[in-house]
Amino acid sequence: MRLILLLAALILAPAALAAKEPVRPVTVLVGIDGFRADYLERGITPRLAALAKSGANAAMRPSFPTKTFPNHFALVTGKRPDRNGIVGNSMIDPRRPGVMFSLGNSQQALDPFWWSEAEPVWIAAERAGLRTATMFWPGSEVPFDGQRPADWMRYDQNITNVQRVNTLLDWLRRPATIRPAFATIYFDTVDTIGHRFGPDSAEVNAALAEVDTRIGELVDGAAKLGVPLNLVIVADHGMRATDEARVIQLDDIIDRASYIAVETGPYAAIEPVAGTDSRVYDALLVPHEHMTCTRKEDLPGRLHYGSNPRVAAIICIAENGWTILAGPPAYPVKGGAHGFDNADPDMLAVFIANGPAFAKGAKLSTFDNVAVAALLRAALGLPEDADADGKLADVKAALRR
Ligand code: AMP
Ligand code: ZN
Ligand code: ZN
């Protein structure tokens, strides 16, 4: 009898040991588009507020231009738009004459050519043997150097926030061998509603509450599965109220045939048409009310912008809250917008880190968003990227001592 028990114990021991092995935390990068830093203080996001309080948090400075694609890519590459190659939601490249990259032009937006200037953290992780999974993130649908996350999804705004969370939970539910070590998830609704109704609207508050509920479901779902999370929750930029009374009309300054407006709105990217160069420069590079236009090479150093060949020749930045138009607007100027100077306090983005890798109860001073990539690498055990613009030292206070 004793012998049988001993044998049984020997056979069962490895299984019992395996069952007790600690589950490796999964680093999850959550992007809440347009979640302005101070939204957290409205008292309508209890789950996020609790994560901020028991983890690390800060009001984070976005990179210029304060747009979605450039900043999402800055967050995962550690390089500012000028060096990560995604210099705008819309952009041109002298190597591709006559072609315009834009967020809605999937033929260009999904072409690796545009995304090849900086390596996203999921590629660094995959190369180090860590499995990654992306439930949306700008750039994650495109191979880098022929590599992709092990699991990735083509962006579709119609996939509900509930579906997005459930997809991520399904990935966490997997056996350890095929469970990601790093995952992303992205919510667009706070930004979408922020544009339509403005940052101070009841509609934005409802969108904030809904996303907060989804984050709660993610946290509770992972806890139920017994999978610890190192959560890094960020926004790409904030949101500022705009209205049709504060509009700068380029038609009043220069004829539309003389330039290409690569981008308009809170900032404008203007490329003179060949042969009309001096006319456009002469008209724009003078003082204007509510707008400052600068040759890209003369932009202030604090913007870290203008050396990439994809940056248009002239960059005009509107006074905070103003909108630059080239002809009639595509949609009415109302609600909210972003794209302003990254020194605008309304462009500040939320940052929360919570999990075993992170400090408990740390309020960081404002830092540049490119440091997030360094923090993600640290949480994943990857070495710091010496070539990145963002340094781990800038967010060291977010790490557990
Ligand atoms: P913005 O115009 O800067 O406010 O960008 C926000 C928009 O980007 C939202 O309407 C999203 O639906 C859209 N978006 C986010 N990720 C992607 C993606 N991977 N591909 C295309 N559009 C996206
Ligand atoms: Zn955005
Ligand atoms: Zn937006």
Residue recorded with tokens 């150097």? 145
What pLDDT, on the 0 to 100 scale, is given for residue 209? 98
- Ligand 2 centre and the CA of 385: distance in Å? 25
- CA-CA distance, 1 to 23, in Å (whole number)? 35
What pLDDT, on the 0 to 100 scale, is given for residue 20? 64
Please check whether residue 14 is in contact with residue 168, taking contact to mean a CB–CB distance below 8 angstroms.
no
Q: Where in the chain is the domain with CATH 3.40.720.10?
A: 23-240+342-398
Phi, psi angles (nearest 5°) of residue 215? -65, -40
Start-end of H helices in 1-136: 2-20, 46-54, 68-77, 81-84, 106-109, 121-127
Q: Which atom of ligand 1 is nearest to the CA of 236?
A: 3
Amino acid at the residue 64 = F
Q: Which atom of ligand 1 is nearest to the CA of 33?
A: 6
pLDDT, tens digit (0-9, with 9 covering 90-100), for 222-266:
999 999 999 999 999 999 999 999 999 999 999 999 999 999 999
Average pLDDT over residues 99-121: 97
Average pLDDT over residues 40-56: 98
Please check whether residue 370 is in contact with residue 78, taking contact to mean a CB–CB distance below 8 angstroms.
yes
Please check whether residue 103 is in contact with residue 136, taking contact to mean a CB–CB distance below 8 angstroms.
no
pLDDT, tens digit (0-9, with 9 covering 90-100), for 274-289:
887 799 999 999 999 9
Is residue 270's pLDDT more than 70?
Answer: yes
What pLDDT, on the 0 to 100 scale, is given for residue 274? 84
Residue of 188, 239, 267, 340 best suited for mutating to test ligand 1, as the one with most atoms within 8 Å of CB: 188
Ligand 1, residues at Cβ distance < 6 Å: 33, 67-68, 89, 103, 109, 138, 155, 157, 188, 191-192
- CA-CA distance, 32 to 238, in Å (whole number)? 10
What pLDDT, on the 0 to 100 scale, is given for residue 298? 98
Please check whether residue 370 is in contact with residue 74, taking contact to mean a CB–CB distance below 8 angstroms.
yes
> What percentage of the chain reaches a pLDDT higher than 70?
95
- Ligand 2 centre and the CA of 99: distance in Å? 23
What pLDDT, on the 0 to 100 scale, is given for residue 6? 46
pLDDT, tens digit (0-9, with 9 covering 90-100), for 329-339:
988 999 999 99
Under CATH, which number does the domain 23-240+342-398 receive?
3.40.720.10
Average pLDDT over residues 118-124: 98
What pLDDT, on the 0 to 100 scale, is given for residue 2? 52
What pLDDT, on the 0 to 100 scale, is given for residue 330? 87
Is residue 3's pLDDT more than 90?
Answer: no
pTM for this entry: 0.95
- CA-CA distance, 207 to 4, in Å (whole number)? 62
Please check whether residue 350 is in contact with residue 367, taking contact to mean a CB–CB distance below 8 angstroms.
no
H or E segment at 379? helix 371-380
Is residue 10's pLDDT more than 50?
Answer: no
The model's confidence at residue 42, banded by pLDDT at 50, 70 and 90, is very high
Q: CA 47, 172, 49 angle in degrees (round to 5)?
A: 10
Alpha-carbon distance values, 400 to 58, 60, 258, 364 (Å)? 16, 19, 55, 13
Average pLDDT over residues 59-64: 99
The model's confidence at residue 1, banded by pLDDT at 50, 70 and 90, is very low
Residue of 33, 64, 135 best suited for mutating to test ligand 1, as the one with most atoms within 8 Å of CB: 33
245-331 folds as Gyrase A; domain 2 (3.30.1360)
The model's confidence at residue 19, banded by pLDDT at 50, 70 and 90, is low
What pLDDT, on the 0 to 100 scale, is given for residue 17? 47
User: Rounded mean pLDDT of the chain?
Assistant: 95
Q: Where in the chain is the domain with CATH 3.30.1360.180?
A: 245-331
